[in-house]
Amino acid sequence: MSWTPVCAYAAIPPERGVCALVGDRQVALFRTYEGHVHALDNLDPFSGAYVLSRGIVGTRKGEPTVASPLHKQVFSLVSGTCLDEEAVQVPVYAVRVAGGRVEVSV
């Protein structure tokens, strides 16, 4: 597994998302209030736009989620599954914090 450093952990505000280009992929990074960092593909499969990093972070039944800013479908930050249409998923990427920096593996 190859890790790519993308930003400082402190650069991701709690309950917000940021976008990073990792190789040729746009990755949406999210930090929860609990301090966990999650990484999903930034492409919204419903609209075809790269906007998930601008989504609304929240929870559904205790699971961290992001709602697309365009059509409001809700995706699990853990599995990438759309909680409104379970047949739809976005890729989830491995993410870690090392030395105060967020690193992603795609």
Q: What is the pLDDT of residues 5-52, one digit of tens each?
A: 999 999 999 999 999 999 999 999 999 999 999 999 999 999 999 999
Give the closest residue to 51 by CA, choosing from 83, 26, 22: 26
Q: What is the mean pLDDT of residues 62-69?
A: 96
Q: What is the pLDDT of residues 73-95, one digit of tens each?
A: 999 999 999 999 999 999 999 99
Query: Which residues does 51 contact at the CB level (< 8 Å), separation at least 6?
Result: 42, 44, 68, 69, 70
The class level of CATH for 4-105 reads mainly beta
What is the C-alpha R_g of the chain? 13
Give the amino acid at 16. Answer: R
pLDDT at position 50 is 98
pTM here? Answer: 0.94
| Distance (Å, whole) CA 4 – CA 41 | 15
Task: Categorize the per-residue pLDDT at 3 as very low, low, confident or very high, splitting at 50, 70 and 90.
Answer: very high
Query: Which residues does 9 contact at the CB level (< 8 Å), separation at least 6?
Result: 31, 37, 97, 100, 101, 102
* Model confidence at 103: pLDDT above 90: yes
Task: Categorize the per-residue pLDDT at 1 as very low, low, confident or very high, splitting at 50, 70 and 90.
Answer: confident
Q: What is the mean pLDDT of residues 54-65?
A: 96
The CA-based angle 103-41-59, given to 5 degrees, is 90
Number of neighbouring beta carbons within 10 Å of residue 15: 14
